[in-house]
Structures are given as C-alpha cells and as structure tokens.
C-alpha cells in the first residue's frame, strides 16, 4: 500500500513519506514488499588456469578453490531489476525528506500556512475596524436631529444594520474558541516537527552507528546503518561475516595435484552445499532479505511518529477552520417603531430600527410621501401561556439535538441561530454544547473531533468562559450576553436588616424568668427543666426576682417570646376564691392585673387566666400539687406551653 490505514501507529517508513509524493518532482517511494519479491542475486561458476592472467574476480561475491594448476570460482552479482528498484527507493526517499526540510515540497509547503494565517487575520481585523463606524452611522440614522432622515432613512438604516450583522457574524465564525490564524500557525509548527522527525529517522537508518541482527543462519551480522540500509550492503555484510568466511575457506580441493578428481566447486556447510546448487544460493538471499527488513523496522518508528504529528496538525487546522457560512439577516424589528412618540420614544416599539423619537419634540419617524409606502406594522407578539413543555425523555424516539439551519456554535458553546440570538431548547433554556462542536447542514449538532450527533443529555448548564486571546465583538458583548442582558429586570426588593444577635425578641416580657439568662433570639421554653423565680439561698432566705421596670436584657413589657401575650400567674386579692382554699382560675384580664403586672399600650392584653402563686417558703405549700403550675412544681404543663416557661 502506498499509504497506511486509519491507525497512524501502523504506518511504515515509505507510507509516511508518500503522503507528500507528487509527480514528477517527488515520485512515490516503492513498497518494500516489491523489492523483497525480486530475485536479488544471479550466480555463476567457472574455472581459470592459474598464472599471470588469473586475476581476482570483481563480482559482488566470489569464492575460490585452487589446485596446483586451476582456480575454481563461484560468483554472484545483484540482479538488474533489484538494483534499479532499490536505487529508486533510496532516491525518492531523499527527494521527499529534503524537500520537506527546505520547504520546497508542493504539498507540505509551510509558507502556505503562514500566508493563509496572515490573510485570515487581516480579514478579521478589517471587519473589526469597520464594525464601530457602521454601528455609529446606523444609530445616527432616521431619528430627529440625525444627519439622514426622510423617505429612504429606514431603508438605509436596514442596509447599515445588515452590514453590521455580517461583520459581527463573520468575526465570530473566524474566532470560534480560538482564532483561525493562530491555529494555522500552530499547524505550521507541527509541520516543521514532522519534517524534523523524518530527517532524524533517515540519519539514524543510514548513519554510521553499528547494528547487529540475527541472520537465521546460526550467526549474527554486525554492520553500520549505511551498509544495512540497502540490499547490496546487507548481502555484502553477511558474506563477509567471520563465521561464513571461515566456513567457506575450510573447503579444499579433492586433490591439489589432480584436477580431474572430484567436484572442486566452492561450498559452504552453513549454507548447505556447493554454490553450483540452488539451495545455498536461496538460503543466502533469504538471510539478506530478513536482515534488510529488520533494519527498516528501526526507521518505521520514526515514520509512525511523524504521521502522528501530521495528524495532530490536520485536526488542529480542521477544528479551527470551519466552513464559513453566509450570514443570515432576519429583520425582527417590525419596521420603524409605529410612528414614534414624544420625549424618549413614547409608545413606539423597542425594535432596533430607526423608529421611536429620542428628541424633545414629536418624532414622526421616516417621512412618508405619496410615492412611498408606510413601513409594515410589526408582527403580533407571540405570547406563551402555561408552563413550558417538558424536555424530551433521553433515549426517546429522537433524542438528538436539532437546531435551525444556519445556526452555529459560539466560542463559549452557546448555539447561535441564524438571527444572531441563542437558540432555546424545549425547556426554554439556551442550548449550550461542548466547545468545538459544529452544526451540520440539516441542523444536527456534531460533537467535537467528530464525536457523533449530540443528544439532549449532552447539553451543558452554563457556557464556557471565552478563551484568552479571543477579542469580543459588538461593544465587547457576546451573543449570549446581549440576549441575557435584554431579559434582565429590576433586582428583587431587599429584605429588612437582621436584628442584633444579642437582642431579645420584640414580644419578650421583662418579667419572663428566662430573660435573666437567655441572650439569643428566637422562641424560649421547651423541655422539662426550668428556672424558679424564687430560689432559696444557702442561708434559708429567698432570692426575689428583679423589681418592675426594664429587664436585664431590655425589651417591651407585657409580652413574651414569639409575640404571644404574657400570661400572669394566679395571684390572691380581689376575685379570689377565699375560704383558705386557694384562688380560682380566671380566663380574663382584669384591671387589677394592669396595676400588678403593668401593661404596654402597643401590645394587646392577654386573655388567659392567672396561675397560682408559689408559696414564699422554700418547700412546696400547695395542697394540690397537680394544679400548681409554678416553675419546678406541678406535673401537668399548661396546654400548648413547654414546662419551665411562662410563655404561650
């Protein structure tokens, strides 16, 4: 095969070179199999009378047995067909490698990469330089006070907007993920490495370093790379191997003084017979072909590595040199703004057209005469009602991503439609795919490096950040940023500031016993443990709670945690049951309670009754412990309250 298969690791030396073969200057390098199939040696035997005319043969190979009167010779020479093919093999190798080194090869000329990079970079810079003037000119057309108004203002505005859109679109296509001209220069450098690999491999293969290979004849052969790189050199190296020379010289004539006795043709025990026979000749030739092929394996590794570099250069250029599509312009502005308004545009639409005045006086938009027609009304708005449709189930009948024809994948992975806006998926979110993907002609998205059609599950949640070195366009905003900016609304109202962590809830009463030790916000109470408001001291005296007024931690009076009114404990006095049987429970708030406990006019009074007061003694004095609900006593908590608190 002239070229290798899809796996570059299996390519051999001549296949790597033939990538850059072109007739007539750089012809194809023949296959090594074609050379091996040829017959390499032609043999012959003859005798010569010894004397002054008997000279050493000049053949490629020769062996001699002498008697007193005669020399018996066996000679061999390279066949013309093998010699010619081997010479073509070596010459074409040198032509291709040298042309890649000096950049004269018609196919791998690195100067073309530089020329293409310069051209693309210049085109992108030219488009970018025209972008701002076009935008400025367009935005100053068609409004009151602008330089250009009248019947043709709207048409001229559309022309300028189309030119602006085309400049932006072409710049984005040339700068997807990475600038095309930068990728071309990277490919050029990889081509230089490719040529260097081939040259290094050739120098190793044909150099002066010594290599040793097994001949398959029972002895190895050692020679320089220069000798082993050609079939003739390999044959000569084997023939001159010490083991074979000793074997051939060990054979003598049957009789030194009698020529007619026996067959005195030279022979070799290693090769298996006399050189007048076919067997020894073929055995020597097979050994030479074996060694030559093994020495080629050395340079095959350099060729495979060079092809790998070339493949990397190809994919680099291919990934960042997509097919440039003609920008598609969709005028979605709906005309000139519906007649405009006063001040900042009035009720006119918000389309990018020249409609909607921005001056102090009423702006009627472009002037309409009898010979011209008014701009068409804007299309009716499309209002989506109800929740968005659910996304397709992965693995369904058609899970592949499908976008409108003419879309493309931006540098950050966002799919941009023909109108220059992000394409929305079935879920209402922009379609974001891995950078490097591309949109096929039928609208399907193909993954990077030919990974196949992308499905719904391949979508990304957020775009990639723009790579360094890529200059944003259109006032420094990408297409997705412009689309998201148009959807932004006012920020949500701010929440009220949080209370200090050391302040009490606004409903905590200063008489709450827990206000003496609790310092954090939130609900108090809960659990089975409590703090008695009156704790006997070690001396037998009772420790009384603080006097009425502001508590240790502050806070309004008459309230408890979580905004529940404070429930005063049961107390004696008016309204009591009398008869020494304790006081009755009440479910109302009386005027006497206000005098006893105090009130806060900003908080509603409580509605539940008092609780019994605990005896002043240090021991329990209640005759009915189950109904004594003071802290630390009683067995039944009040309904809805945690024991150990006085809050509801």
Asked whether residue 72 falls in the same domain as residue 201, the answer is: yes
Question: CA 284 to CA 215: how far, in whole Å?
Answer: 9
The region that residue 395 occupies, defined by phi over 0 for left and psi between -120 and 50 for alpha, beta otherwise, is left
In this structure, the chain runs to a length of 648
Question: CA 137 to CA 203: how far, in whole Å?
Answer: 63
Question: CA 271 to CA 275: how far, in whole Å?
Answer: 9
Residue 435 placed within a domain:
yes
Residue 325 placed within a domain:
no
Question: CA 277 to CA 266: how far, in whole Å?
Answer: 11
Share of the chain above pLDDT 90, in %: 24
Interval 29-74: pLDDT, tens: 999 999 999 999 999 999 988 878 888 889 999 999 998 889 999 9
Asked whether residue 206 falls in the same domain as residue 80, the answer is: yes
Choose among 328, 311, 315: nearest CA to 173: 328
Residue 354 placed within a domain:
no
Asked whether residue 468 falls in the same domain as residue 606, the answer is: no
Give the pLDDT score at 477.
Answer: 61
Residue 350 placed within a domain:
no
Question: Among 20-24, 253-257, 601-605, 643-647, which stretch is predicted with the lowest mean pLDDT?
Answer: 643-647
Q: Is the pLDDT of residue 423 over 50?
A: yes
Range of 231-245, 363-377, 389-403, 491-505 with top mean pLDDT: 231-245
Asked whether residue 95 falls in the same domain as residue 217, the answer is: yes
Asked whether residue 95 falls in the same domain as residue 205, the answer is: yes
Residue 620 placed within a domain:
yes
Asked whether residue 68 falls in the same domain as residue 206, the answer is: yes
Choose among 179, 182, 168, 128: nearest CA to 416: 168
Residue 619 placed within a domain:
yes
Kindly report the pTM of this predicted structure: 0.48
Residue 342 placed within a domain:
no
Asked whether residue 517 falls in the same domain as residue 430, the answer is: no
Confidence of residue 575 (pLDDT cuts 50, 70, 90): very low
Helix ranges (H only) for 79-214 are 80-101, 110-139, 153-174, 180-206
Query: What's the burial of 236, exposed, middle or buried (CB within 10 Å: 0-12/13-18/19+)?
Result: middle
Q: Is the pLDDT of residue 396 over 50?
A: no
Give the pLDDT score at 332.
Answer: 56
Asked whether residue 549 falls in the same domain as residue 426, the answer is: no
- DSSP code string of 287-320: HHHHHHHHHHHHHHHHHHHHHHHHHHHHHHHHHT
Residues of the domain holding 643: 505-648
Residue 391 placed within a domain:
no
Asked whether residue 206 falls in the same domain as residue 253, the answer is: yes
Q: Is the pLDDT of residue 516 over 50?
A: no
Q: Domain total for the chain?
A: 3
Question: CA 643 to CA 139: how far, in whole Å?
Answer: 74
Domain limit, last residue, from 488, 516, 540: 488
Average pLDDT, the chain: 72
* Cα–Cα distance list, 216 to 220, 285, 286, 290, 292 (Å): 8, 11, 9, 8, 13
Query: What's the burial of 66, exposed, middle or buried (CB within 10 Å: 0-12/13-18/19+)?
Result: middle
Burial 330-344 (b: 16+ CB within 10 A, else e): eeebbbbbbbbbeee
Confidence of residue 232 (pLDDT cuts 50, 70, 90): very high
Question: CA 313 to CA 306: how far, in whole Å?
Answer: 11
Enumerate residues 6+ apart whose C-beta is below 8 A from 222: 210, 211, 212, 237
Q: 63 near 161, Cβ under 8 Å?
A: no
Q: Residues 634, 640, 646, CA angle at the centre, nearest 5°?
A: 60
Domain limit, last residue, from 431, 461, 488: 488
Domain limit, last residue, from 284, 319, 354: 319
Enumerate residues 6+ apart whose C-beta is below 8 A from 225: 204, 205, 206, 207, 208, 209, 210, 211, 295
Interval 88-122: pLDDT, tens: 999 999 999 999 999 999 888 888 888 988 888 88
Asked whether residue 539 falls in the same domain as residue 472, the answer is: no
Choose among 561, 516, 544, 537: nearest CA to 613: 544
Question: CA 453 to CA 438: how far, in whole Å?
Answer: 10
Asked whether residue 512 falls in the same domain as residue 474, the answer is: no
Give the pLDDT score at 335.
Answer: 43
Interval 181-208: pLDDT, tens: 888 888 888 888 888 889 999 999 999 9
Give the pLDDT score at 426.
Answer: 82
Give the pLDDT score at 348.
Answer: 41
Question: CA 178 to CA 316: how far, in whole Å?
Answer: 10
Interval 457-509: pLDDT, tens: 878 777 766 555 444 444 556 666 666 666 665 455 565 555 555 544 544 44
Asked whether residue 67 falls in the same domain as residue 210, the answer is: yes
Q: Quick one: which H or E segment has residue 43?
A: strand 41-49
């Amino acid at each position: 095969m002239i070229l290798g298969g899809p796996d570059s690791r299996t390519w051999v030396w001549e296949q790597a070179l033939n990538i850059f073969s072109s007739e007539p200057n750089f012809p194809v390098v023949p296959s090594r199999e074609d050379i091996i199939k040829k017959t390499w040696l032609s043999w012959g035997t003859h005798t010569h009378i010894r004397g002054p005319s008997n000279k050493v043969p000049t053949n490629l190979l020769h062996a001699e047995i002498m008697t007193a009167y005669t020399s018996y010779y066996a000679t061999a020479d390279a066949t013309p067909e093998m010699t010619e093919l081997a010479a073509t093999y070596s010459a074409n190798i040198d032509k291709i490698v040298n042309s890649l080194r000096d950049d004269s090869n018609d196919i791998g000329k690195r100067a073309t990469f530089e020329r293409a990079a310069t051209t693309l970079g210049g085109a992108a810079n030219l488009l970018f330089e025209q972008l701002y003037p076009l935008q400025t000119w367009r935005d100053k057309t068609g409004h009151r006070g602008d330089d250009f108004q009248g019947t043709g203002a709207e048409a001229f505005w559309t022309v300028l907007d189309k030119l602006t859109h085309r400049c932006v679109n072409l710049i984005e296509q040339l700068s997807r993920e990475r600038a095309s001209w930068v990728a071309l220069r990277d490919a050029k450098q990889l081509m230089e490495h490719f040529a260097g690999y081939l040259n290094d491999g050739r120098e190793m293969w044909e150099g002066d370093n010594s290599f040793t290979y097994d001949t398959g004849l029972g002895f190895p052969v050692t020679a320089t790379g220069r000798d082993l790189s050609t079939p003739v050199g390999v044959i000569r190296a084997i023939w001159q191997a010490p083991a074979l020379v000793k074997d051939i010289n060990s054979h003598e004539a049957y009789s030194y003084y009698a020529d007619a006795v026996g067959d005195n043709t030279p022979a070799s025990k290693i090769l298996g017979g006399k050189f007048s026979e076919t067997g020894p000749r073929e055995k020597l030739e097979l050994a030479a072909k074996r060694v030559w092929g093994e020495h080629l394996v050395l340079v095959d590794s350099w060729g495979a590595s060079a092809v790998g570099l070339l493949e990397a250069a190809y994919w680099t250029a291919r990934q960042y040199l997509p097919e440039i599509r003609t920008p598609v312009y969709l005028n979605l502005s709906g005309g000139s703004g519906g007649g405009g308004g006063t001040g900042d545009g009035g009720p006119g639409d918000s389309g990018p057209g020249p409609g909607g005045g921005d001056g102090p006086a009423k702006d009627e938009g472009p002037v309409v005469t009898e010979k011209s027609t008014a701009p068409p009304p804007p299309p009716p708005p499309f209002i989506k009602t109800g929740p968005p449709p659910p996304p397709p189930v992965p693995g369904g009948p058609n899970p592949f991503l499908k976008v409108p024809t003419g879309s493309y994948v931006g540098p950050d992975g966002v799919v941009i439609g023909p109108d220059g806006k992000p394409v929305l998926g079935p879920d209402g979110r922009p379609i974001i795919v891995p950078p490097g993907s591309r949109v096929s002609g039928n609208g399907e998205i193909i993954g990077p490096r030919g990974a196949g059609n992308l499905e719904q599950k391949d979508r990304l949640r957020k775009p990639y950040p723009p790579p360094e070195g890529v200059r944003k366009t259109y006032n420094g905003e990408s297409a997705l940023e412009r689309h998201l900016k148009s959807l932004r609304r006012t920020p949500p109202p701010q929440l009220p500031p949080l209370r200090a962590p050391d302040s009490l809830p606004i409903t905590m009463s200063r008489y709450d016993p827990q206000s003496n030790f609790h310092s954090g916000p939130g609900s108090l109470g809960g659990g089975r443990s409590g703090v008695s408001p009156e704790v006997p001291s070690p001396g037998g005296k009772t420790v009384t709670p603080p006097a009425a007024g502001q508590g240790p931690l502050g806070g309004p009076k008459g309230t408890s945690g979580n905004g529940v009114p404070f429930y005063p404990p049961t107390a004696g006095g008016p309204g009591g049951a009398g008869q020494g049987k304790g006081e009755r429970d009440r479910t109302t708030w009386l005027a006497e309670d206000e005098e006893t406990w105090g009130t806060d006019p900003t908080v509603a009074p409580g509605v539940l009754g008092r609780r019994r007061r605990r005896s002043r003694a240090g021991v329990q004095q209640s005759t009915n412990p189950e109904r004594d609900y003071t802290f630390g006593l009683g067995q039944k908590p009040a309904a809805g309250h945690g024991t150990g608190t006085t809050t509801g």
